[in-house]
């Protein structure tokens, strides 16, 4: 089963937000953690629906609240099964106040892009496996282990909440490329 979208569930009237672009101060600020009662409130629930709709509209795999103009420690991620980016898919997940704990020392380098840095890609080294803890969509604590591509997404989105973008994690800018130019012989 692929990602269940808001459109498929019949939720209407959900706004799609314009994605915050690199250069706006909200992307460089440390996001504010939320309390469980805030998470269960109508405003935050609406924000989460809008984040999911925005991620889907922009064909993203994840999006952080500050990419939707809100300096709150929250992100969503998800990807339907069968996609070229990650055939196994990623379950639609809502995370508040994420904490990452790497598992082991293994890292892998791969291409990353970002909705806030459109049309560019660069190679970034990330932990191969991690434990993610935080609060879920109901404000309840959880822990999950991620590896490979989903672990990369968790790290990327958590970086956003700490005022970082993938460019800050690159080992130099030699691999920074426009998507239209990737793969060309040099």
| Residues marked as catalytic | 157
**Residues whose CB is less than 8 angstroms from the CB of residue 78 and which lie 6 or more positions away in sequence, other chains included:** 3, 52, 55, 61, 62, 89, 90, 91, 92, 93
Q: What is the maximum span of the chain, computed from C-alpha positions, in angstroms?
A: 54
Per-residue DSSP letters for 147-186? Answer: ESHHHHHHHHHHHHHTT--HHHHSSSSTT-EEGGGTT---
Distance of CA 171 to the CA centre of its chain: 21
Task: Return the SS3 of 7.
Answer: helix
């Amino acid at each position: 089963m692929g990602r269940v979208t808001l459109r498929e569930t019949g939720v209407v009237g959900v706004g799609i937000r314009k994605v915050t672009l690199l250069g706006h101060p909200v992307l460089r600020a440390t996001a504010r953690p939320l309390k469980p009662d805030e998470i269960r409130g109508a405003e935050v629930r609406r924000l989460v629906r809008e984040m999911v709709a925005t991620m889907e509209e922009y064909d993203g795999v994840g999006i952080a609240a500050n990419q939707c103009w809100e300096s709150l420690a929250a992100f969503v991620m998800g990807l339907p099964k069968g996609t070229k980016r990650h055939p196994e898919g990623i379950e639609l997940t809502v995370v508040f106040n994420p904490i990452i704990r790497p598992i082991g020392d293994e890292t892998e380098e791969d291409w990353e892009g970002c909705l806030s840095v459109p049309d560019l890609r660069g190679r970034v080294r990330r932990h191969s496996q991690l434990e993610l803890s935080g609060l879920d969509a109901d404000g309840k604590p959880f822990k999950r282990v991620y590896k490979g591509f989903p672990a990369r997404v968790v790290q990327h989105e958590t970086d956003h909440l700490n005022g970082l973008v993938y460019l800050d994690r690159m080992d130099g800018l030699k691999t920074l490329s426009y998507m239209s130019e990737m793969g060309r012989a040099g």
